[in-house]
Amino acid sequence: QVQLQESGPRLVKPSQTLSLTCTVSGGSTNSGGFYWSWLRQPAGKGLEWIGRFFASGTTNFNPSLESRVTISVDTSKNQFFLNLSSVTAADTAVYYCASRSGDPSFFDYWGQGALVTVSS
């Protein structure tokens, strides 16, 4: 059973870069067939997919965020990362990492989420 845990600063100043880490257990970021995603959810609102890393090295991003997003992986630490640059208050949300092995059409493992607030 894959388990995911988000970590990182919970308060980020406007115009700076939001950086989060997802630590994976029960699965390997180096395993073929795994998709590693980031999503977010502003308070009281719905879910938004941010982007995804596939074990082959391929990344895909939500077009609305693509210019500001980087997703990378450190297979030696079994972690993957989210960087979101030039943040504003609109980026305040609970950020989730999620994964899927096999067909990529849904997310079956989720982290518990990390509330990140953008404020000066």
Partner 1 sequence: SYVLTQPPSVSVAPGTTANIPCGGNNFGSKSVSWYQQKPGQAPVLVMYFDSDRPSGIPERFSGSISGNTATLTISRVEAGDEADYFCQVWDSTGDLYFFGPGTKLTVL
List CB contacts of 91: < 8 A, sequence separation 6 or more. Answer: 12, 18, 40, 84, 116, 118
Cβ-based nearer residue to partner 1, 23 or 60: 60
Which region among 9-17, 68-76, 81-89, 111-119 touches partner 1 (by CB under 8 A)?
111-119
Cβ-based nearer residue to partner 1, 81 or 100: 100
Which region among 7-15, 17-25, 73-81, 107-115 touches partner 1 (by CB under 8 A)?
107-115
Q: Are strands 11-12 and 93-101 parallel, antiparallel or unpaired?
A: unpaired
Query: 22 is written with which tokens?
Result: 């997802």
Amino acid type, 88:
T
> Is 108 a residue that touches partner 1 (CB under 8 A)?
yes
Give the Cα separation of 26 and 116 in Å (integer): 26
> Is 72 a residue that touches partner 1 (CB under 8 A)?
no
Task: Annotate each residue in 25-64 with x if it binds partner 1 (CB under 8 A) or - if it does not, as one string.
Answer: ------------x-------xxxxx----------x-xx-
Residues 87/18, Cβ–Cβ less than 8 Å: yes
Cβ-based nearer residue to partner 1, 6 or 91: 6
Residues 50/37, Cβ–Cβ less than 8 Å: yes
> Is 111 a residue that touches partner 1 (CB under 8 A)?
yes
